[in-house]
Structure 1
Amino acid sequence: MASARGRVILAATPLGRPGDASARLREALAGAAVLAAEDTRRLHRLCHDLGVEPTGRIVSFFDANESARVPALLDALEAGDDVLVVTDAGMPSVSDPGFRLVSAAVSAGVDVTCLPGPSAVTTALAVSGLPVDRFCFEGFLPRKAGERRRAVAALADEPRTVVLFEAPHRLAATLADLAELLGAERPAAVCRELTKTYEEVRRGPLGELAEWAATGVRGEITVVVGGRPAAAAAAATAVAPADLAAEVAEREDAGQPRKDAIAEVARARGVPKRTVFDAVVAAKNRT
């Protein structure tokens, strides 16, 4: 008789403080047959901090080897072993390894369950001071400047609160792009080192946050940005693209550089720069 299949268990780990670990996580770390860890050294450190001695087989499971690991993990699941997936912090598969295994397990008819717990996304939302009734999660924005700016521009009309992750060395550039393309006055919060000793939540307009970050910021970063205000959306709807393009053309005729003209028209009309830029491009294509 064939043995029962194992389960994929996605386990949320503490963002910083071991004391945030659940009793179920401790039990799973001690008893799972296979532990797939984003960083095996961090897993051992977490187990030490929790006073847990893993008895199962530990395998590395990170972005670069996730696809290659999936077949062997599926074999273990078919043999009846539970596979516990843990990342460095927070919930696996949320901008962390796990999705490929979950997708393959679901396709194979293998059960997938979750040990809920810490999440940087919901923690940052809760402390941001911004609306949390509706939100969207963008993960990490593209690293290349041009691709990042296009991704940010696509968020200009998003009415929901936006949550994203960013590396500390790219934070200043990302905030500068957000301020330019979404509006320097758009409210936001930069959440640094959540739940840790040096936790910091910096709230304010994107323009001010970009200036603050220009001097350098360290730690794990989650950024929360307010959605497009209803008033701005109404203003954008009320102003015809042709009118925006005409206003830019008038300023250019007076000797103002196009970039500055677009910025001033956007500020005066209360619309994103991208909206004005698109209107200028559309007008140029018609001529």
Structure 2
Amino acid sequence: MMPRDSSDADDRSNGAAGGGSRWSDLDRPPLNTAALRRGLVREGGLWTGVDVVQRTGSTNSDLVARATAGQAAEGAVLVAEEQNAGRGRLDRVWTAPPRSGLFFSVLLNPAEVPVARWGWLPLLAGVAVATGLAQAAGVDTALKWPNDVLVTVGGEERKTGGILAERAGNAGVVIGIGINVTLRQAELPVPTAGSLALAGARTTDRDPLLRAVLRSLEDWYGRWRAADGDPTASGLQETYAAGSATLGRLVRAELPGNRSITGEAVAIDGDGRLVLATEEGMQEPVGAGDVVHLRSA
């Protein structure tokens, strides 16, 4: 089933948590779909369509299904005002009150780039999100390897965004992005979470924030694709390292198979892997897993 646009009459009853009109939380107005399309979809540009739905389980699941069915082309953008089954890495659940953040997925298909370099796409998305938010919201951001976007709240690093990449068969890769924008302290799902509002953002208007992130993503994707996915030639590897909150710290990498490695994060290699220097004098590249920041190195 194709997702419904935000103009569907039977979706207008979807308001803030607890029900009511979609305008019931005046601090969280709905996105302006028409304005987003005017600002993002242009001839020769990456973005080919912008759809906004009031509620869905997961924009990633929806867009993967549309792409594999041949119902979405590269550059499709699917945004939800509310997700009730949003997913992060390692099957973690991502939930937030309606219209409190940006929850969206995009379809990319860099067919001319060697598939071996596609692993850079989640890191590229992280750089794009951090760059776009810094420009539009005026907040300092940092990237926790591989896919968390951090802001500072009360002197502490807090996660305000996450990225999930999923293959969509021959149609390419769907990149899902979730950003907490106006979450209040009492609404945070865990103490380590944050939001742009809590980080002192100069604006929490989601329309310009979404446009800024998507324009940044278009820019970085274009650079990377023009360099045939080479992370050095495109500047992606250097930029990611410069914005990393993980490099230079003592971390524990929790790997598949209940294995873990502890060491100093010393580099991001050419494949986008995190390189740890262990106490045994070994350098261990980590390509998948969960990373816990222990302390500054």
The reply to whether TM is greater than 0.5 is no
TM-score (norm. length: structure 2): 0.25
Name the one with the larger strand percent.
2
Name the one with the larger helix percent.
1
TM-score (norm. length: structure 1): 0.25
RCO higher in structure (CA 8 A, sep ≥6): 1
**Higher CA-based Rg:** 1
